Amino acid sequence: MSEINQYTARDIPERLSSPFKRVVSSWEALLLLVAILIFFINTQATPYFLDWWNLSDATFNFTEKAFIAFAMALLVISGEIDLSVAAIIALVSTAMGFAVQLGYDTPALVAIALVVGLACGAINGLLVTGLGLPSIVVTIGTMSLFRGISYIILGDQSYKDYPESFLFFGQGYVWSTVTFELLLFVIFAIVYYVLLHRTNFGRAVYVIGNNPTAAVFSGLRVERIKFLLFLLTGIMSAIAAICLTSRLGSTRPSIGLGLELEIITMVVLGGVNILGGSGTIPGVALAAIVMGMLIFGFGLLNVPGIVMSIFIGLLLIGVIALPKIASNLKNYYLERKA
Amino acid sequence: MSILKKTLVKRLLLTTAVSAALMMNAAQAENKRIALVVKGLGIGFFEAAVKGAEEAAKEIGDVEIIYTGPTDTTAEGQIEVINSLIAQKVDAIAISANDKDAVVPALKKAMKRGITVISWDSGVAIEGRQFHLNPSSNPLIGNMIIKLAADDLPEGGDVAILSAGATSTNQNTWIAEMNKVKDHYPNINIVSTVYGDDLSDKSYREAQGLMKSHPNLKAIISPTSVGIVAAAQAVTDAGKVGEINVTGLGLPSEMAGHIASGASKSFAIWNPIDLGYAATTIAYNLATGATAEAGGSIAMGRMGEVEVNDDLEGAMADPFIYNSSNIDDFKYIF
């Protein structure tokens, strides 16, 4: 008996654990604890950490990535992925730089960015939902395509001379040490929280990720919802591109190189199941803050970049492996007991 | 769940605590802290530059060098590094930039908060730094490549040039500068200039062609690291080692074999150790009262003084000459 059901059967508890207990034992609570811990250790390890301006500078380490991570979280929960986001940043930034040369001003630049981001998202979405291709393959392809176009247009040149008003997005402060990007981060966190956890659309995303077939038979327009999610990721990449370009004040085709991996790390660290079906926005937001503070703390201690990469790599593997190891251990323990 | 939680927390605690303990002693002392920001960690050229920086720090005394840079050679990575240096309130930043424009806003912020900023090796746009140190200058390089050929040809003779592309800006500038000073070397007779387009095989064939069409050829000058290696190989394969000397600009790691075989008696390129040394002393001097003004000059220790031009740039020195006496020290560096 025990051989058959050990891995498939789930105990049905006699009652649900109390809401309080669920919150305390959640992944988000753990992340919050880790965030507080890192904050505390940073304050002890370096005298420079607890300074409003420094903390404000530190937020740039995660804000732009987090914008994309929110949309990516929805995409991953629905069972898809988009590896082309950093390449979309490059293409959007190049398009804006090109428009600057033609004399367009800030509002037009933002509009162009959003249109290009939408177009990129639409290409990904059409290839995945229209032709039924696997998103990981499609977006590896478009990753080279989008960045390739930037390289063709720019070569080893760069665009600069962005209008003064454009620089507000990445370098501006809304109040005291609160940057515009930090404000955007808070706004997007709320918007995506509502979208995923408080709307029918959000419920549908979970259903599709858990069981696409069941979703189809429940009358959900699976392909359309997935297409919308790709569009959303494209737009968020465009917004990140606006902020990043504004912060750098220039565009090169190598802009944002490799960001997609950091974004996916953020999403997975936030507790989103890489195979789809589960995950939360508060988790992703906390993961963004944890990663940002970790990188900034290491930076203050002048830890070499490679050590940071190793640590973040280990963190990612650990986070994916731990639940698996824990459940294996639990099964082993139960088997011994039985 | 609780097992999982405990383990993760324990891991994080441990790792962070260990790194914290390791780094505790970094934040102390009243030394001038000079950050040497490089394009990427783990690049031999920059590791050598740090040796020079450490040498300068030892010589000056109250200087602490922070050697840092991103793992990947991106501008975004360098900006994160710059932000953390601003937060640490270092005294000076000396940067070899991955992108001359993208780091400008971050460096401007650094200067606004009272940090001395210079660039070296790979420059930053003028609004983002106080001074830029070039390893050398076009006139110095132009003079050096013909001098190298002349030094090994006391009795003079025919010399040919193997350049990169016909439209390569750097090489054309250096050759033009060389032509300006060639009257100082009356024995040297420049017979031809050919282009190998910085491709190994094409450069090799062009070098073969030079040897055929100029039987009295005594030296080939190649002011490009691809061409010089190809020319040395062509001379070796033609069995003309000792007859024809190959010289110009090259990398010690790629040229070590040809120096050993005698196909090339000497060549030149900047010395990264001197560069790191000079960048550090200049950063120190600017942080302690010296100013970089057009027409002025800044002291750089054993390297003498650097003159500041109208773009607030300066050239450190002649390219450094590599030959059989020092190649072994540098061939593992870059």
Looking at the structure, tell me whether residues B66 and B156 fall in a common domain: no
**Alpha carbon distance B175, B166 (integer Å):** 11
Looking at the structure, tell me whether residues B118 and B167 fall in a common domain: no
Answer yes or no: are the C-beta atoms of B269 and B320 closer than 8 Å. yes
pLDDT for B23 equals 46
Looking at the structure, tell me whether residues B146 and B87 fall in a common domain: no
For A56-91, how does the pLDDT look when each residue is reduced to its tens digit (9 = 90+)?
A: 888 988 999 999 999 999 999 999 999 999 999 999
Q: Which one of B88, B93, B126 makes the best mutation probe of the A interface by having the most chain A beta carbons within 10 Å? A: B88
Q: Which one of A248, A259, A314 makes the best mutation probe of the B interface by having the most chain B beta carbons within 10 Å? A: A248
Worst-scoring range by mean pLDDT, A245-249, A304-308, B142-146, B152-156? Answer: A304-308
Cβ contact B26–A329 (<8 Å):
no
pLDDT for A7 equals 52
Using a CB-CB cut-off of 8 Å, the residues of chain B touching A305 are: 41, 68-72, 77, 81
Of B269, B300, B326, which residue is a domain's last?
B269
A302 touches chain B (CB under 8 A): yes
Question: Is B158 part of any domain?
Answer: yes
β pairing state of B297-299 and B305-307 = antiparallel
Q: Which residue of A has its CA nearest to B83?
A: A57
pLDDT for A192 equals 97
Of B231, B251, B269, which residue is a domain's last?
B269
A273 touches chain B (CB under 8 A): no
Work out the minimum CA distance from A78 to partner chain B, whole angstroms. Answer: 24
Q: Which of B236, B188, B177, B176 is nearest to B211 (CA)?
A: B236
Q: What is the mean pLDDT of chain A?
A: 90
Question: Is B194 part of any domain?
Answer: yes
Looking at the structure, tell me whether residues B76 and B35 fall in a common domain: yes
Percent of chain A residues topping a pLDDT of 90: 61
Answer yes or no: are the C-beta atoms of B178 and B145 closer than 8 Å. yes
Is residue B230 scored above 80 in pLDDT? yes
Structure tokens, A38:
């890192």
Looking at the structure, tell me whether residues B165 and B48 fall in a common domain: no
* ipTM for this prediction: 0.71
pLDDT for A38 equals 87
Cβ contact A244–B76 (<8 Å):
yes
Looking at the structure, tell me whether residues B262 and B159 fall in a common domain: yes
Is residue A312 scored above 50 in pLDDT? yes
Looking at the structure, tell me whether residues B244 and B191 fall in a common domain: yes
**Alpha carbon distance A124, A85 (integer Å):** 10
For B54-107, how does the pLDDT look when each residue is reduced to its tens digit (9 = 90+)?
A: 999 999 988 999 999 887 778 888 998 999 899 889 999 999 988 888 899 999
Domain residues for B211?
138-269
Is residue A2 scored above 60 in pLDDT? no
Question: Is B7 part of any domain?
Answer: no
Cβ contact A48–B89 (<8 Å):
yes
Instruction: Give me the CATH number covering residue B123.
Output: 3.40.50.2300
pLDDT for A257 equals 87
Q: Which of A190, A220, A223 is nearest to A204 (CA)?
A: A220
The three-state DSSP-derived secondary structure of chain B is: CHHHHHHHHHHHHHHHHHHHHHHHHHCCCCCEEEEEECCCCCCHHHHHHHHHHHHHHHHHCCEEEEEECCCCCCHHHHHHHHHHHHHCCCCEEEECCCCCCCCHHHHHHHHHCCCEEEEECCCCCHHHCCEEEECCCHHHHHHHHHHHHHHCCCCCEEEEEEECCCCCHHHHHHHHHHHHHHHHCCCEEEEEEEECCCCHHHHHHHHHHHHHHCCCEEEEEECCHHHHHHHHHHHHHCCCECCEEEEEECCHHHHHHHHHHCCCCEEEECCHHHHHHHHHHHHHHHHCCCCCCCCCEEECHHHCEEECCCCCEEECCCCEEEECCCHHHHCCCC
Confidence of residue B217 (pLDDT cuts 50, 70, 90): very high
A319 touches chain B (CB under 8 A): yes
Using a CB-CB cut-off of 8 Å, the residues of chain A touching B84 are: 296, 299-300, 302
Looking at the structure, tell me whether residues B292 and B231 fall in a common domain: no
**Alpha carbon distance B149, B152 (integer Å):** 6
Is residue B36 scored above 60 in pLDDT? yes
Question: Is B62 part of any domain?
Answer: yes
Q: How many CB pairs under 8 A join A and B?
A: 146
Looking at residues A191-197, what average pLDDT do you find?
97
Confidence of residue B290 (pLDDT cuts 50, 70, 90): confident
Percent of chain B residues topping a pLDDT of 90: 49
pLDDT for B121 equals 87
**Alpha carbon distance B43, B33 (integer Å):** 23
CA atoms within 13 A on the CB side of A186: 7
Structure tokens, A145:
């395509």
Is residue B21 scored above 70 in pLDDT? no
CB nearest to A306's CB, from B9, B71, B81:
B71
Answer yes or no: are the C-beta atoms of B192 and B210 closer than 8 Å. yes
Using a CB-CB cut-off of 8 Å, the residues of chain B touching A44 are: 20
Q: Which one of B19, B36, B84 makes the best mutation probe of the A interface by having the most chain A beta carbons within 10 Å? A: B84
Question: Is B239 part of any domain?
Answer: yes
Chain mean position to CA B146: 20
**Which residue in this structure is represented by tokens 């956890």?**
A197
Looking at residues A282-290, what average pLDDT do you find?
95
CA atoms within 13 A on the CB side of B219: 28
Confidence of residue B7 (pLDDT cuts 50, 70, 90): low
Is residue A225 scored above 70 in pLDDT? yes
Answer yes or no: are the C-beta atoms of B299 and B157 closer than 8 Å. no
Work out the minimum CA distance from A54 to partner chain B, whole angstroms. Answer: 5
Does pTM surpass 0.90? no
Cβ contact B71–A44 (<8 Å):
no
Q: What is the mean pLDDT of chain B?
A: 86
A161 touches chain B (CB under 8 A): no
For A104-152, how does the pLDDT look when each residue is reduced to its tens digit (9 = 90+)?
A: 999 999 999 999 999 999 999 999 999 999 999 999 999 999 999 999 9
Structure tokens, A125:
């979405």
Cβ contact A57–B102 (<8 Å):
no
For A41-61, how does the pLDDT look when each residue is reduced to its tens digit (9 = 90+)?
A: 988 888 888 888 888 888 988
Question: Is B225 part of any domain?
Answer: yes
Percent of chain B residues topping a pLDDT of 70: 91
Looking at the structure, tell me whether residues B265 and B276 fall in a common domain: no
Looking at the structure, tell me whether residues B178 and B105 fall in a common domain: no
Of B211, B239, B269, which residue is a domain's last?
B269
Looking at the structure, tell me whether residues B46 and B110 fall in a common domain: yes
Looking at the structure, tell me whether residues B70 and B148 fall in a common domain: no
Q: Which residue of B has its CA nearest to A157?
A: B99
pLDDT for A296 equals 86
Question: Is B279 part of any domain?
Answer: yes
Question: Is B121 part of any domain?
Answer: yes
pLDDT for B28 equals 44
Count of domains in chain B? Answer: 2
**Alpha carbon distance B238, B242 (integer Å):** 11
Worst-scoring range by mean pLDDT, A290-304, B57-71, B81-95, B256-270? Answer: A290-304
pLDDT for A64 equals 95
pLDDT for B18 equals 47
